[in-house]
Amino acid sequence: MDASTSAYFTAAGSRDNDNGRPAKRARIGARNTENDSLRNTEQPYDMGKDLVFDIDQIEAQDLNQIELAGEVLTQSREIGDEEDEEEEEEEEEEEEEEEEEDPVALEETLPDVEATFEEKARELLAYMGVQDTNKSSWSSIFLDLCEPGDYIRPMKSFLADCKLRLSYRGQSSGPIDAFLDRKDRQSWATHDARIDADWDRLASEIVSLSQGTIILASLSKPSGPQNAVLTCNWHYPTWSTNNPLWSHVMDPTNPSLRAGKEKMGLSSLVRTQNRPPIREHYRKHGIEWDESFPNWTAIEEKCLEFNRSLNRHSKLILVIGTENVRSFEQLVEIDDTVEVIEVKLRIPLVQVFGDVPSFKIIRDRITKQVRHVVFSSHHSQTFFSRDVGMPNRAFHDFLWNAVADMAMIRAPRHGEMYFMRQVEMKRPERKGDIYKNSQFHLAVRLRSNEKRSGVILPEGVVRRAFRKTIKKRPELSLLPDSSESFVKCLLMFFISRAQKTINDPMWRRGPEYDRMYASHVQNLELHRAACQAKGRVARQTQAYKDSDKGKYSVASLKRSATLPRNKQAERVAALLKVRQVQALRDADASTLDAKQRAIQGRIHRLQAMEKK
C-alpha cells in the first residue's frame, strides 16, 4: 500500500469524520487520502484486504473493532487460550449434563499458587485501580481505603476487641464438617447447645406452617457457635449437594459453600446460616416462595426472627447475595437505640450492587460504640460466570480476605485469590454470556481499566494473567512503549496476529473467513438497527425539531422532494456499466469469498430486474 493510501474502518458512532461529525455508516476498505475515492483496479476490489485494526479504538472498547478482531483470532485459532478439540467435546458433554443441575456444579481444582502477601496484595489492588500500599495486612489496607470520618478510631478499637476478647470469640463444640462422616445420621449435629433448642423449635414451626410441603430432614441447620465473632449469612440451601438430609449450612459438597470453605476454611469461630433454611432448586430469577409454600409470610418471619436472634451475638456479619444485601435490616436487629453509618471505600474501578463498594457500621446512637459491622458480598456462584470482570473479582477476594483478617481466623492461604482464579477455570460458554473468556478480551478489559484508573498493572501480574499466551508464543516480548503498559504489549500482539491473518489470501478463501464475515455483518446490522431506533426517537422530540440540525434536516427533505423521480432504472443501468461491477458479475463464484459472492448475487438480481 503506497503512502497516499490508508486503510480505514469506521462504525456508526465510533469514530468522527473529518468535520467532527459521527460517521454514519460502517465501511471497510482502502481510501486515497487525496481524492477520497476507492481505487480503480482491474479485478473486483477485496474491501477487507488492507484493513487496519486501530489500537486507540480497541483501547476505548469500540465494540465493532473488538468483535472483528476477536472473531478473526478465534477462527484462526490465534486467540491465546484455545484447547484441543477433544477437551472441547468433553466440555459440551459436561454442559449437557449440567442443564438440570445447579449452574455452579462444576468441580473446581485451583492451581497451587505460591506467592507472598505483598505479591497478592499488589495484584488485587492493581486490578481494582488502587495504588500500591505499604500496609502489612488485609484489614489495615481495608481501613486505609475507607473514606475519612469519626468512626475510624472506634472501629479500630472494636476490631481489636474482636481479636482479643474471648467473649466475642465463641467456638464450635466440634469440627464443623464432622456430620459428613455420619452416613446413617438421623438428626443434626450439635455445634452449640444454646442454638439447638431454638433451632428445633423453628424447624418444627416451619414444617407445621408448610402443611407438610417441607420435609423436616431437608432443612439446613446453622453451622458454628452462637457467639461467633463472624457470621456468614447466605441465602437458601439448594439440592446441589451430596447431603440433602440432616445437613448443615457449611456443606462443602455444595459448590457455593465450597467457595466459602476455600475463602474462610472450616473455622470453629465462624457461624454460617441461611436466610430461610428451606432447600430449593436454584432459579436464576429467584424463587416464588409464596407460590411454593402455604403460609409463606408467617414462615419467612419466623426465619428472619431466628436470623436476628443469632446475629445479635456476632460482631462481624458478612451478608451474601442480592436479596440479603437489599434487606439486611431484616437480618440484623436495628432499633431506636442504634444508628447505621454507611462507609464508602475509595476503589475507583469497582461497583458492587450498582454502587461504589461500602459497608455499614451499626453503633450506639448516644455513646457511638460500635456494635456490629456489616459487609456486603455478591454470591459466590457469581464468580463462576465468565461475565464477571477482574476488578470485581479482585475486590471480593480482597473483601473476604479483610473480613477473615478482622475476625483473626486462619483462612487458607491458597484461597486468598479464589475468585480471581475462577476465571482461569475452563468452562463451557453459555447462551447469554456477555464477555468472551479469551486472553484477547481479557487484555481489552484490563487495558481499558488501566486507562480509566491510571494504575498500570505490574509486569509480574501481567505475566501471570497471560501465562497461557506467553507460554504458547515464547517470541512475545513485553517491552512497553511510552504508555509503560505491559497489557498494551499483549494487546498489540493480538492485533498484529489478527492483522496478519486477515491479510492472508488463503485464509480469506476458507470457511473460517466465511463464518467470521457472517458473524461480523450480523453484529454490524444489530448495532446499526439500535442506532437507527435511537435516532428515530431523538428526531421526534421537540428539542431536536427546534435545533439547527433539526431545521436543516427538514430543509433537506423539502429539497429532495423537488428532485427528479422514477430514475431507478437509469441508475441501475449506469451501475451495471461500471467495469469493476461487470468483472465481479462474470467472475467464477468458486474463486470468491463470502462477501464477494453476496455482492455478486445482488448484481445478478439487479440485472434480472433490468431485463424485466
Are residues 25 and 149 located together in one domain of the fold? Answer: no
From the list 568, 565, 569, the residue with the least C-alpha distance to 611 is 569
* 533 domain-assigned: no
* 285 domain-assigned: yes
User: By mean pLDDT, which of 174-183, 336-345, 416-425, 572-581 is the weakest?
Assistant: 416-425
So what's the pLDDT on residue 99?
34
SS3 (DSSP) at 539 = helix
Are residues 21 and 132 located together in one domain of the fold? Answer: no
610/104 Cα distance (integer angstroms): 60
522/524 Cα distance (integer angstroms): 5
* 201 domain-assigned: yes
* 358 domain-assigned: yes
Are residues 341 and 267 located together in one domain of the fold? Answer: yes
So what's the pLDDT on residue 74?
66
Residue 406 phi, psi (nearest 5): -60, -35
* 339 domain-assigned: yes
So what's the pLDDT on residue 452?
78
* 86 domain-assigned: no
Could you tell me the pTM of the whole model? 0.65
Are residues 191 and 304 located together in one domain of the fold? Answer: yes
Any residues with CB less than 8 A from the CB of 448 and at least 6 apart, and which? 59, 60, 61
* Residue whose entry in the numeric block shows the C-alpha cell 488501566: 450
Mean pLDDT, rounded, for 269-281: 94
* 273 domain-assigned: yes
Q: Domain residues for 376? A: 117-413
Are residues 48 and 126 located together in one domain of the fold? Answer: no
So what's the pLDDT on residue 397?
95
User: By mean pLDDT, which of 212-226, 362-376, 456-470 is the weakest?
Assistant: 456-470
* 539 domain-assigned: no
Choosing from 413, 446, 466, the residue where a domain stops is 413
So what's the pLDDT on residue 526?
77
Choosing from 413, 444, 461, the residue where a domain stops is 413
pLDDT grade, residue 44 (50/70/90)? very low
Q: What is the mean pLDDT of the chain?
A: 79
Name, of 113-122, 299-308, 384-393, the range with top average pLDDT: 299-308
Q: Are strands 316-320 and 270-274 parallel, antiparallel or unpaired?
A: unpaired
* Residue whose entry in the numeric block shows the C-alpha cell 473488538: 66
- Using left for φ > 0, alpha for ψ between -120 and 50, and beta otherwise, residue 429 falls in beta
Q: 361 or 32: whose pLDDT is higher? A: 361
Mean pLDDT, rounded, for 462-490: 82
480/490 Cα distance (integer angstroms): 10
CATH number, domain containing residue 143: 3.40.470.10
So what's the pLDDT on residue 62?
67
Share of the chain above pLDDT 90, in %: 38
From the list 71, 74, 73, the residue with the least C-alpha distance to 519 is 71
408/403 Cα distance (integer angstroms): 8
pLDDT grade, residue 561 (50/70/90)? confident
Are residues 20 and 164 located together in one domain of the fold? Answer: no
Q: Report the alpha-carbon angle 332-333-335, nearest 5.
A: 140
Are residues 48 and 182 located together in one domain of the fold? Answer: no
479/487 Cα distance (integer angstroms): 10
So what's the pLDDT on residue 415?
85
So what's the pLDDT on residue 564?
77
Question: Per the structure, how many domains does the chain have?
Answer: 3
Assigned C-alpha cell, 243? 447431603
Instruction: With a cut of 60, say whether residue 161 has pLDDT above it.
Output: yes
Instruction: With a cut of 80, say whether residue 400 has pLDDT above it.
Output: yes
423/387 Cα distance (integer angstroms): 9
Mean pLDDT, rounded, for 360-389: 91
So what's the pLDDT on residue 270?
96
* Residue whose entry in the numeric block shows the C-alpha cell 505475566: 463
Are residues 172 and 306 located together in one domain of the fold? Answer: yes
Q: Are 5 and 33 in contact (CB under 8 A)?
A: yes
- Using left for φ > 0, alpha for ψ between -120 and 50, and beta otherwise, residue 97 falls in alpha
Instruction: With a cut of 90, say whether residue 113 has pLDDT above it.
Output: no
So what's the pLDDT on residue 375?
97
19 CB-side CA count, 13 A? 3
Are residues 20 and 136 located together in one domain of the fold? Answer: no
pLDDT in tens, 215-256: 898 899 999 999 999 999 999 998 888 888 899 999 998 989
Instruction: With a cut of 50, say whether residue 151 has pLDDT above it.
Output: yes
pLDDT grade, residue 428 (50/70/90)? low
Q: Are 225 and 191 in contact (CB under 8 A)?
A: yes
Choosing from 413, 430, 453, the residue where a domain stops is 413
SS3 (DSSP) at 13 = coil
Are residues 134 and 253 located together in one domain of the fold? Answer: yes
pLDDT grade, residue 42 (50/70/90)? very low
pLDDT in tens, 51-109: 456 677 676 666 666 766 776 676 556 555 433 333 333 333 333 333 333 333 333 33
So what's the pLDDT on residue 509?
80
So what's the pLDDT on residue 610?
75
Are residues 47 and 134 located together in one domain of the fold? Answer: no
Are residues 18 and 125 located together in one domain of the fold? Answer: no
